[in-house]
């Protein structure tokens, strides 16, 4: 009987709901989208700093544009990020979805035909002017 009571208590605790999600968090699918775009912003900033040697990058504007486009606030994004940062397994699953989305974007971009390049007519015009 004692074992049955212990088993019942363990089963009851096992069925208990997980921590409730706090109010004001961004839904997981939208948060994943925003996080994927934020990853692209970080890559863009890295490119601008290293390749283009820019000294001033409007990072806040990039993020403000992203949040406006996705219909979220910076505060909600930070609150959601902080929430999942304390739950590493959930955050890893979200980042796995981010990587999947970024790979899909890369594959779709590779499938698109390259834009047509136009012939440089200015070079031919310049050559004829030099002959005069």
- Residue-wise pLDDT for 16-33, tens only, equals 445 677 888 999 999 999
Task: Give the DSSP per-residue string, 2-66.
Answer: HHHHHHHHHHHHHTSPPPPPPTTPPPHHHHHHHHHHHHHHHHHHHHHHHTS--S---HHHHHHHH
Residue 12: what pLDDT? 42
Residue 96, token pair as written in the block: 């796995």
Residue 116: what pLDDT? 78
Q: pTM of the entire structure?
A: 0.68
Half-sphere CA count of 71, side-chain side, radius 13 A: 3
Residue ranges per structural domain of the chain: 25-107
Residues of the chain predicted below pLDDT 70: 1-19, 120-132
């Amino acid at each position: 009987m004692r074992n049955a009571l212990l088993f019942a208590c363990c089963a009851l605790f096992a069925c208990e709901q997980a921590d409730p999600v706090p109010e004001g968090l961004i839904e997981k699918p939208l948060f994943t989208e925003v996080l994927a775009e934020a990853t692209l912003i970080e890559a863009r900033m890295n490119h601008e700093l290293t390749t283009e040697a820019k000294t001033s990058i409007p990072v806040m504007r990039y993020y403000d544009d992203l949040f406006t486009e996705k219909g979220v606030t910076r505060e909600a994004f930070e609150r959601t990020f902080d929430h999942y940062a304390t739950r590493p397994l959930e955050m890893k699953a979200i980042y796995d979805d981010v990587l999947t989305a970024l790979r899909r974007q890369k594959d779709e971009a590779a499938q698109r035909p390259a834009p047509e390049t136009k012939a440089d007519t200015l070079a031919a015009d310049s050559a004829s002017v030099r002959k005069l």
